[in-house]
Structure 1
Amino acid sequence: MYISLLPYSVDSVQFSAASEQELVQLETLADLAERLLDHLRDTYIPQAEAQSELIHRAVSLLAYEASLRFEQIQRQWLADYQQRSTL
């Protein structure tokens, strides 16, 4: 009785080749994911931080201008009140 091991060996080689190919594809995918992460970290995070800082500055400026305008209205109201009081 003769049992050939050749098909088993061929299947093993094919499986090994498929595993190697999948390993290469997984490594390529991992490299792509790492490059994407670096791109996001280097591009989008600084942009978001810069936009956040600009929004913070704009809100601060708006609050400051509103405060100045309110003070101007108060002074005008006080001047008008004092002028009416002297009449």
Structure 2
Amino acid sequence: MNKKKCIACKKCVRKCPVDAIPMVGGKALIDDNDCIYCAKCVRTCPVKAILKDKEHIDFEIESGVKKMRKSLAKSGNKKTETDAQK
């Protein structure tokens, strides 16, 4: 789920047949332990904040890359440890 896109309309919360989407901090949060992957929330979301499996993986990878870049920029080190060993 892309929390930044969530507009807290609660449409996905109401549509979920197993109540797997609570509101946390003003945003919908899918509980993976309760979710049955029916995709009703994906089809219901008006701003496409709920990602399909492939989109979710791509989003997580992109988020991880951004976090790593920020971390490297803060440290002032543009090369990773493996780059330095080469």
How does the TM-score come out when normalised to structure 2? Answer: 0.30
- TM-score, normalising length from structure 1? 0.29
Flag the structure with higher strand content: 2
More helix by share: 1
Higher RCO (C-alpha under 8 Å, 6+ residues apart): 2
